[in-house]
Amino acid sequence: MTSLKPKGAKKLHWRDMRPSLRGKVIDAIDAMHLDHVIVAAVPMDHWNTAERARRKCLEHLLPLLETEYGVDTLVLERREASQDRNDIRFIDGLRSRGFISAIRVELQAGETDARLWLPDQLLGAYGDARTGTERYDGFLSCVRTVLIDGD
């Protein structure tokens, strides 16, 4: 992933890439032969705020990763300090309510690890495929998608 990052960019970001680079990135991710899960709160305008949609996604994602995939540590990209504190407080609440038990969540700066760029790339490809902007059907058929309905 690092070799695909444009010069001067801190990290790969889907919205900043040309279609030709997007295709190369998707090919590189596909060649990794990893399991991918997308949890999306849709439609976004039904969730009041992006932070509420994020919390609903984490509420579904963390138990799924822990129970079905055996993940013991999830690394999320750092955001603003107040957002990070709210994420940790929310995750602690999920643990205290029994949604999760053993999975640990760590926060790390996006520039420090190219693996943290993968969610942005997957969601970008997913969004483009849903809107018909681009077609990544072969690749996205290997991605498990969980949609949380806001209605």
Weakest-pLDDT range from 7-11, 81-85, 100-104, 133-137: 133-137
Q: Would the pLDDT of 43 be above 90?
A: no
pTM for the model: 0.86
Which token pair is 91? 């995750």
124, burial (CB in 10 Å: exposed 0-12, middle 13-18, buried 19+): buried
Cα gap 32→35, rounded to integer Å: 9
Q: What is the pLDDT of residues 70-121, one digit of tens each?
A: 999 999 999 999 999 999 999 999 999 999 999 999 999 999 999 999 999 9
Q: Would the pLDDT of 137 be above 80?
A: no
Q: Please report the pLDDT score of residue 151 as a whole number.
A: 56
Which token pair is 101? 């038990």
Backbone angles phi, psi at 92, to 5 degrees: -60, -40
Mean pLDDT of 10-16: 94
What percent of the chain lies above the pLDDT cut of 90? 65
Which token pair is 67? 């129970």
- Give the ranges where 97-143 is alpha helix by DSSP (H): 118-131, 137-140
Query: pLDDT category, 45, cuts 50, 70, 90?
Result: confident
Nearest to 71 by CA among 118, 114, 34: 34
Q: Please report the pLDDT score of residue 150 as a whole number.
A: 66
Q: Would the pLDDT of 19 be above 60?
A: yes
CB 42 within 8 A of CB 149: yes
Q: Would the pLDDT of 2 be above 80?
A: yes
Q: Please report the pLDDT score of residue 132 as a whole number.
A: 79
User: Whole-angstrom distance between the N-terminal and C-terminal Cα of the chain?
Assistant: 37
